[in-house]
Amino acid sequence: MKNVIVLLVFCVFTLSIYATNENEPIHIEVIGKGNPIVLIPGFTVPGEIWNPLVKELEKNYECHIVTLAGFGGKEPIEFPWLPKVNEAIKNYIVNNNLQNATIIGHSLGGTIATWLASNDDLKLSKIVLIDALPASGALMIPDYNAENLVYENPYNDQQLAMSDKEFEQVAVAMSKGMSTNASAQERIKNWILEADRKTYVYGYTDYLKLDLREDLKKISIPVTIIAASKPYGKEMVTQTFKSQYENLKKYDFIVADDSAHFIMLDKPKWFLSQLQTILSSKNE
C-alpha cells in the first residue's frame, strides 16, 4: 500500500511538472551557432514562419525561434496574456545570457521587440521591426484610451460565441488582406483557425491596450523598420509610421513595395536580402 501511495505521489508530481512546462507563455527552439538572434512572430503565427529565414541565418547566427502560448498548437495560459509573454521573453534573454542579441519581430512580435528595447536592464544589439507599430490600438480606435479596453465587451463576446464556420469566414476575410499570395493566405487562415479562440480574442485586447509611444524615448540602440506598402500605399504608410514613431530618436525606414502585411511570405527573396544587409551592418 505504501508503494502505491509513493507511486501516486510521483505520478502527480510528474504530471504537475509536465503541465507547468506545457503552460508556459513562450516556447523556444534554438538552431544554429553564432551571435544570438531572437525571432518573434506576429499574432496567431507560430515560429515556423521564420523557417526559410533561419535556414540561411543558422550558418552564422544562433537563432532563438519563439512561439507564443495559445498559438501554433501551444497550450493557452491564464490572462492577462501579453504582459506574461513580454516578461517571459525578457527573462529568457536574461537567464540565457543573450548578450547583444538582435531581436527580429513581425507585427505583434515587433511591438514586443520595441518593448524589450525600451528596457534599461537589457543589453541588446539592434531590433528589426517588420510592419509593426508601437500603438496599434491608437491607429485603429477613435478617441483611443487604453484604460477603456476590457476583455468583456460586445465585440469580444460576439467573437467567442461564433460557430467554427462563422469564425472561418472571418479568418478567410482577414487572411486575404494580409498577403498578396494565395497559398500564403491559406497558411495565415489556418494559423488563425488553429489559435486558441480565447487567446485570439482576449490576447488581441491585450495587444490593443499596449501603447509604447512614450517608451520609444528610452530606445538608443539601432532600429530598422520594414513596412508593407499594401493596401494603403507608400505615402500613407510612410506618414503613419512617421507619426507612430515620432518619439524614436533615430531609425532606418524601408518600404516593401507591392507587399502586404506578411512581407516574408510576399517577397521572400527581397526580405532575406534586406535582413542579411541589416544584420551585417555595424551598429552606429
Question: Does residue 5 have a pLDDT over 90?
Answer: no
CA 244, CA 49: separation in Å to the nearest integer? 26
CA 130, CA 272: separation in Å to the nearest integer? 12
CA–CA distances in Å: residue 249 to residues 102, 158, 213, 228: 19, 41, 12, 22
Q: Identify the band that residue 21 occupies on the pLDDT scale cut at 50, 70 and 90.
A: low
pLDDT of residue 23: 84
Phi, psi dihedral angles at 171 (to 5 degrees): -65, -40
CA 250, CA 264: separation in Å to the nearest integer? 24
The beta-carbon contacts of 141-148 under 8 Å, at least 24 apart in sequence, are 141/208, 144/211, 146/208, 146/209, 146/210, 146/211
What percent of the chain shows pLDDT beyond 90? Answer: 89
Bridge partners of 36, per DSSP, are 62
pLDDT of residue 121: 86
* Structure confidence by residue, pLDDT tens digits, 154-176: 999 999 999 999 999 999 999 99
CA 144, CA 155: separation in Å to the nearest integer? 16
* Structure confidence by residue, pLDDT tens digits, 198-208: 999 999 999 99
Structural contact between residues 222 and 102, judged by C-beta atoms closer than 8 angstroms: no
Sequence-ordered strand ranges (E) for 19-107: 26-31, 35-40, 61-68, 101-106
- Residue 181: how many CA atoms within 13 Å on its side-chain side? 13
Strands 124-130 and 101-106: parallel
CA 49, CA 55: separation in Å to the nearest integer? 11
Question: Does residue 96 have a pLDDT over 90?
Answer: yes
Q: 284 or 184: which carries more pLDDT confidence?
A: 184
Instruction: Report the range of poorest mean pLDDT among 13-22, 91-100, 137-146.
Output: 13-22
pLDDT of residue 284: 56
Q: What is the mean pLDDT of residues 251-271?
A: 98
CA 165, CA 171: separation in Å to the nearest integer? 10
Q: What is the mean pLDDT of residues 124-129?
A: 98
pLDDT of residue 187: 98
User: Which three three-digit cell numbers place residue 119?
Assistant: 528596457
CA 180, CA 184: separation in Å to the nearest integer? 8
Sequence-ordered strand ranges (E) for 89-173: 101-106, 124-130
pLDDT of residue 85: 98
Q: What is the mean pLDDT of residues 122-141?
A: 97
Q: What is the mean pLDDT of residues 219-245?
A: 97
Q: Is 271 exposed, middle or buried (0-12, 13-18, 19+ CB in 10 A)?
A: buried
Structural contact between residues 124 and 116, judged by C-beta atoms closer than 8 angstroms: yes
What domains appear along the chain, each with residue ranges and CATH number? 23-280 (3.40.50.1820)
What percent of the chain shows pLDDT beyond 70? Answer: 92
pLDDT of residue 15: 33
